[in-house]
């Protein structure tokens, strides 16, 4: 490929209407230019390459649009209630939609996120919910996606029916053979109560399953020979680690699973089905493997990703790897993602992005070596509107190296700027160099933005994770504080104009910063943040059960509900609201089922009782993830006014 790769604007070659073409950017983009959802997302090519599907906003709701290649007229599939959150072709004439809604069901006692799957024909007809004929369907709050599309069967796919009671525990996870046209399902393989993972071969055959056993906690990998199950050994499991089987390798002879090397880095291992012998399939000495790359049509594992400063994509097959490297050469200094392709891999959808270049979709015809731009996700933004993002590593007070990134406001000299500290959520997550609509909005408004990957962030190995265990509000918070102090010492940030802002765990960190280091910040804003760690665990114990894996995970991160009760109180901002010296902004989705809105209400009540300035904004009709554009725009609008009032711009 290389120099022969050409990019040009496409008006309608893939049927994307003029609304997807690049629009003239404004000198001072409005909030909506950042806050609107991407103009297009989740691009997907049909297996025969005849259709292109994408998620776009229609009437204020995310909808599925299906274009015949070469046509400008799409079929539109939308709902006024259910959100379309993902797309994937499962047959040449059937697109699978992932739908979600937050509702309180009849007989239930609380709001929950329900997930459903449906298929539709390319012309928009034949909409059908999957597995609705099964008696257990009404209890099926959440389920997995497609296990196997079965290349040899034009009418069926295989899906797990994970029956979940209203307590939140999955009771079983059987394999169902589902007719893509009627949605009718019939059991293909019945699970044991402890079964939680199935592996199939792309042709409708079960290869293996994983069972989780108790006393001691361990995972058993069992291989199916067509008639009987054979134990393939057990693996010790913990709150967040187990067999971690990703799928079948491309040659069909082994399982690909996540394991750990002697230095605690997550690797991808190859476990031979015949001999149980295990060897390294892929590893990186400095970074943990973050995800497996699976083939769109067989679900076999064809590669892996890890995150250095950017996400890196590695393919095991030389032809796929050559394609990835050729794309990276054609788009230097940008992240390149192979997002979708047809069965022959002659037609490919590629996503290209960088901090100053929001994601752009290209249609690559490998038979002609021609790439055509088909969509810009943020058409009202141009590079001059966006800030430079670069690594900003530093040492914490105990010597631990903290990876971090800083985004500088465009056109501003980086000296004594108003600053926003933006710790990520999770905390088992991390920031990287990429286009970030939130950080770029802040930079555009004149703020220097610090994004620290504090201890406990993912991707840096077991040791870095373990350094963050039971350190909420303690060493994890110190890492953020030390990054702020470095910005001040380097002369980048004005020490009197610093605000800490975050969502989810980042919201907790914002409240902890205002509470435990009250002289450091001029303001703090928490979006769906946690304020009372005891109440968080109490809610999880009630919903999932005190012995559940969910509670075990959270107690491994925060502390035990009983044994660490004093520390949980000591590190909960709501119990120390009297220490706050700066204004606080709280925003929370009314339909949040990840961090319940009660967490922000608890903090608001504590601040009001302590006589501290607090503003609480309820985001009606949305959940934890800023799913709707009006939510994101409202959040940015409130935040911009709050920052301008307290630290200027």
What are 292-337's pLDDT values in tens digits? Answer: 999 999 999 999 999 999 999 999 999 999 999 999 999 999 999 9
List the end-to-end C-alpha distance of the chain, in Å, as a whole number. 46
Residue 545: predicted pLDDT: 83
Distance CA 442, CA 639 (A): 9
**Residue 623, pLDDT above cutoff 80:** yes
Mean pLDDT of 93-117: 85
240-290 pLDDT, tens digit each: 788 999 999 999 999 999 999 999 999 999 999 999 999 999 999 999 999
**Residue 351, pLDDT above cutoff 50:** yes
**Residue 136, pLDDT above cutoff 80:** no
**Residue 554, pLDDT above cutoff 80:** yes
Q: Which pLDDT band, with edges at 50, 70 and 90, does 547 fall under?
A: confident
Q: Is the peptide bond before 71 cis (omega within 30 degrees of 0)?
A: no
Looking at per-residue pLDDT, the higher value among 218 and 203 belongs to 203
Q: Which pLDDT band, with edges at 50, 70 and 90, does 178 fall under?
A: very high
What is the CB-side half-sphere exposure of residue 503 using CA atoms within 13 A? Answer: 17
226-245 pLDDT, tens digit each: 778 887 778 888 777 889 99
Mean pLDDT of the chain: 91
Q: Where are the beta strands (DSSP E) in 355-416?
A: 357-365, 370-376, 388-391, 394-395, 401-402, 404-408
Looking at per-residue pLDDT, the higher value among 40 and 10 belongs to 40
Q: Which pLDDT band, with edges at 50, 70 and 90, does 9 fall under?
A: very low
Residue 106: predicted pLDDT: 62
Residue 2: predicted pLDDT: 37
Distance CA 582, CA 588 (A): 20
Contacts of 226 (CB under 8 A, 6+ apart): 205
Q: Which pLDDT band, with edges at 50, 70 and 90, does 142 fall under?
A: low
Q: Which pLDDT band, with edges at 50, 70 and 90, does 134 fall under?
A: confident
Residue 145: predicted pLDDT: 86
Residue 10: predicted pLDDT: 34
Q: How far is CA 466 from CA 454, 463, 469, 473, 568, in A?
A: 12, 5, 5, 15, 18
Residue 226: predicted pLDDT: 79
**Residue 118, pLDDT above cutoff 50:** yes
pTM: 0.92
Helix, strand, or coil here: 66? strand
**Nearest residue to 333 (alpha-carbon basis) of 351, 315, 310:** 310
Lowest mean pLDDT among 187-201, 504-518, 565-579: 187-201
CB 313, CB 338: distance < 8 Å:
yes
Contacts of 187 (CB under 8 A, 6+ apart): 174, 175, 176, 177
CATH classification code of 387-532+572-647 = 3.40.50.1820
Pairing, β 254-260 against β 245-248: antiparallel
Distance CA 427, CA 203 (A): 38
Mean pLDDT of 76-86: 93
Pairing, β 614-619 against β 584-589: parallel
Phi, psi of 329 (to 5 degrees): -70, -35
CATH classification code of 1-129+335-386 = 2.40.128
Residue 634: predicted pLDDT: 97
477-520 pLDDT, tens digit each: 999 999 999 999 999 999 999 999 999 999 999 999 999 999 99
Fold of the 192-249+251-316 domain = Neuraminidase (2.120.10)
**Residue 391, pLDDT above cutoff 90:** yes
Residue 26: predicted pLDDT: 44
Q: How far is CA 442 from CA 39, 119, 315, 380, in A?
A: 20, 40, 36, 16
**Residue 584, pLDDT above cutoff 90:** yes
Mean pLDDT of 181-191: 93
Beta bridge partner(s), residue 271: 255, 278
DSSP state of 138: G
Instruction: Kindly state the percentage of the chain with pLDDT values over 70.
Output: 93
Sequence ranges of the domains in the chain: 1-129+335-386, 192-249+251-316, 387-532+572-647
């Amino acid at each position: 490929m290389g120099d022969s790769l050409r990019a040009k604007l496409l008006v309608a070659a893939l049927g994307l209407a003029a609304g997807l073409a690049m629009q003239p950017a404004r000198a001072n983009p409005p909030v909506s230019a950042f806050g609107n959802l991407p103009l297009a997302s989740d691009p997907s090519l049909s297996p025969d390459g005849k259709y292109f599907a994408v998620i776009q906003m229609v009437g204020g709701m995310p909808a599925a649009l299906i274009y015949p290649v070469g046509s400008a007229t799409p079929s539109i599939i939308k709902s006024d209630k259910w959100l379309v959150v993902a797309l994937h072709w499962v047959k040449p004439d059937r697109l699978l939609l992932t739908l979600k809604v937050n509702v309180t069901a009849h007989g239930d006692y609380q709001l929950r996120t329900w997930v459903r799957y449906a298929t539709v024909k390319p012309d928009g007809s034949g909409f059908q919910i999957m597995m609705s004929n099964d008696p257990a369907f009404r209890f099926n709050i959440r389920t997995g996606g497609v296990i196997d599309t079965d290349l040899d069967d034009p009418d069926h796919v295989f899906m797990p029916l994970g029956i979940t009671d209203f307590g939140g525990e999955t009771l079983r996870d059987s394999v169902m053979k589902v007719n893509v046209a009627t949605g009718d399902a019939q059991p293909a393989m019945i699970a044991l109560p402890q079964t939680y993972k199935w592996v199939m071969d792309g042709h409708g055959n079960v290869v293996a399953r994983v069972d989780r056993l108790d006393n001691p906690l361990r995972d058993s990998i069992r291989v199916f020979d067509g008639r009987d199950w054979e134990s393939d050994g057990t693996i010790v499991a913990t709150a967040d680690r187990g067999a971690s089987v990703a799928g079948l390798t491309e040659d069909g002879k082994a399982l690909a699973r996540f394991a750990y090397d002697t230095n605690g880095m997550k690797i991808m291992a190859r476990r031979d089905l015949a001999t149980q012998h295990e060897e390294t399939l892929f590893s990186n000495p400095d970074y943990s493997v973050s995800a497996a790359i699976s083939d769109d049509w067989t679900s076999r594992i064809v590669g892996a990703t890890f995150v250095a400063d950017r996400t890196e994509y590695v393919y095991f097959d030389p032809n796929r790897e050559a394609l990835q490297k050729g794309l990276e050469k054609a788009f230097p200094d940008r992240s390149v993602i192979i997002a979708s392709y047809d069965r022959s891999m002659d037609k490919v959808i590629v996503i290209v992005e960088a901090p100053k270049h929001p994601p752009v979709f290209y249609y690559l015809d490998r038979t002609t070596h021609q790439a055509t731009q088909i969509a810009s996700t943020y058409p009202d933004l141009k590079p001059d509107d966006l800030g430079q993002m670069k690594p900003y590593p530093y040492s914490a007070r105990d010597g631990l190296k903290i990876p971090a990134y800083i985004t500088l406001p465009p056109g501003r000299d980086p000296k004594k700027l108003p600053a926003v500290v933006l710790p990520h959520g999770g905390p088992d997550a991390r920031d990287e160099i990429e286009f970030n609509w939130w950080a770029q909005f802040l930079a555009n408004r004149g703020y220097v933005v610090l994004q620290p990957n504090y201890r406990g962030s993912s991707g840096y190995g077991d040791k870095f994770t373990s350094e963050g265990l039971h350190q909420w509000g303690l060493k994890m918070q110190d890492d953020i504080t030390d990054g702020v102090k470095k910005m001040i010492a380097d002369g980048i940030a004005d020490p009197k104009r610093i605000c800490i802002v975050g969502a989810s765990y980042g919201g907790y960190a914002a409240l902890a910063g205002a509470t435990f280091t009250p002289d450091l910040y001029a303001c703090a804003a928490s979006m769906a943040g946690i304020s009372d760690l005891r109440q968080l665990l109490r809610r999880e114990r009630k919903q999932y059960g005190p012995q559940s894996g969910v509670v075990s995970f959270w107690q491994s991160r925060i502390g035990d509900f009983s044994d660490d009760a004093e520390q949980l109180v000591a590190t909960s901002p709501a119990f120390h609201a009297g220490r706050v010296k700066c204004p606080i902004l709280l925003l929370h989705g009314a339909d949040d089922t990840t961090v319940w809105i009660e967490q922000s209400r608890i903090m608001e009540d504590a601040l009001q009782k302590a006589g501290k300035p607090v503003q609480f904004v309820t985001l009606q009709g949305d959940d934890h993830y800023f799913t709707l554009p009006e939510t994101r725009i409202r959040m940015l609008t409130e935040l911009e006014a709050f920052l301008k009032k307290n630290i200027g711009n």
